[in-house]
Amino acid sequence: MKIVLAPDSYKGTLNQKEVADIMVRTLKEIGHTAVAKPMSDGGDGLLHCFNNEGYKKIESNVTGPEGDTVSAKYYMLENTAIIETAEACGLHLVTDSSPCDRTSYGVGELILHAVDRGAENIILGLGGSATNDGGFGMFMGLGGMAKDASGQPVSVMNNDITDIDALLTDSLFVLDDINMTVASDVTNPLFGPFGATAVFGPQKGIEADRIDEFEDLLIHLHHKVTQVFGTDYSKTPGAGAAGGLGWMLMHFGAIMEKGGPLIAEMIRLEEEIKDADLVITGEGKSDIQTMDGKAPSIVAEIADRHEKPCFLISGQITEDLSEHFTKTYSLVNDNNEAHEVMENTEEYLAGLIREIFDVSTD
C-alpha cells in the first residue's frame, strides 16, 4: 500500500518533518510504502516542508529579536527563496527581554541576503514571531531610516517607535522586481479587538494592561508609514500577521496567499496523492477550526478530489471531525493524559500507527 504522509507539526512536541519521519519508519516496518510530504499552513515550521524538495539550505548571521546576532537559515531552489521570518525574530530566540525591546530587523537582512543570492521569488512564512513592531525593524533592515523631532536617528527597537517623527526611504532597497508572497492563514487586521496586538500580543508576553500602549505604538507607526507610502493596508486581511509584519510587507508589494494551498502546490502534494492508496494528515490539536484553511483540511480536500481515503491522526481531537475525514485518531484518549502524550509523543504516535495498520491489514 502506498501511503502519503502530510502532517503539520504537533506543536510543542514534534515538528512536521519529525512527525512524518516517525510515521514513515513505522509504516515501513509494517511493510507499507510511505511518502513523506510534511505540510504547513504558513505557520511555524514552514521550512520543514522543503527539506526533501530539492531546495538548498542557506545560513546567514542576522540580527535576532533582542538585537544580538543569531544564525538563521532559509531555502533556495533556482531563483525562489523560502523564508521563515521566525528564523530572525521568532519566540524560540527570546531569552528574558520585554516585548518592547525586540525588533524584526533581521527579517529585512534575511530578505536582502536572499536577493543577493539571486532570489527573484520570495515566499515568506510569518508564524512564530516574537515581535509586535509592525515590521518597523524589517523596514530599517531593508535600508529605511527613522529620525526623531530633533533629526537624530531612531533605534530599531519596538519601544522606539514612539520617537519617530519622520521615516526616510532614500536608502531603502528597491524590491520592485522581486515577487514576494506571504504564506499565512492569518486574516486579522492591524488594529482593534481582532488586530495584531489584542489577539497575538499576549502570546508574546504583552500584559493585558499594556495592550493599549503597544496598540498606540502601531497607530503612530501606521500614521508615519501612510505619509510615506500613501496607501492604507491596515484593514487588509493578514495585516495583523506576525505583529504587523504582514502589513509592512504589503507596502513592499507582497501578496497575501492562503498558506496551505500554496505550500501544497509547491511541494507537489497532489501529484503524490493521485496514485496513493491512502493519505494521512494531522496536527497537534484538531477542532472545527481545523477546517478553516488549516493544513489538514487542505490535505483532506486534495484527497477527496481524487477519491482517496484520508486519515486524521492528531495529538488531540476535541470535536467531531468524522464527516471531513475517512477516519480520525487522537493520541490523547480516555486511557492516558495529555502530559503523558506530550512527554512521549514519538512512542504514542508509533504505537497508534501500528495499532491502526495491524487492524487494517488483518
Q: pLDDT at position 335, please? A: 86
What are the tens digits of pLDDT across the range 103-130? 999 999 999 999 999 999 999 999 899 9
- For the cut 70, the answer to whether the pLDDT of residue 70 exceeds it is yes
Q: What is the pLDDT of residues 72-82, one digit of tens each?
A: 999 999 999 99
Q: Which domains does the chain have, with CATH numbers?
A: 2-39+273-360 (3.40.50.10350), 46-259 (3.90.1510.10)
The C-alpha atoms of residue 62 and residue 105 are separated, in whole angstroms, by 8
pTM over 0.95: no
In whole numbers, what is the pLDDT of the chain averaged over residues?
A: 95
CA distance 40 to 49: 7
Q: Is the pLDDT of residue 167 over 80?
A: yes
In DSSP terms, which residues pair with 4 in a beta bridge? 35, 279
Look-up of cell digits 489577539: 199
**Alpha carbon distance 237, 139 (integer Å):** 20
pLDDT confidence of residue 52:
82
> Residue 56: enclosing H or E segment and its boundaries?
strand 56-63
- Residue 12's pLDDT band, with cuts at 50, 70 and 90, is confident
Please determine, for residue 359, whether its predicted confidence score (pLDDT) is greater than 60: no
| Strand ranges in 269-343 using DSSP code E only, listed in sequence order | 278-281, 285-286, 310-314, 316-317, 327-330
Question: Which amino acid belongs to residue 50?
Answer: F
- Here the cell at position 101 is 525591546
Side chain identity at 125, as an amino acid letter?
G
Q: Are 61 and 71 in contact (CB under 8 A)?
A: yes
Is residue 88 within 8 A of residue 113, CB to CB? The reply is no
232-284 confidence digits (pLDDT tens): 999 999 999 999 999 999 999 999 999 999 999 999 999 999 999 999 999 99
Quote the pLDDT of residue 259.
92
User: Which of 129, 132, 66, 67 shows the shortest CA–CA distance to 96?
Assistant: 66
User: In degrees rounded to 5, what are phi and psi of residue 20?
Assistant: -60, -40
> Is beta strand 80-84 parallel, antiparallel or unpaired with respect to 166-168?
unpaired
Tell me how far apart the alpha carbons of residues 280 and 70 are, in angstroms, rounded to a whole number. 35
Q: What angle do CA 219, 220, 221 make, to 5 degrees?
A: 90
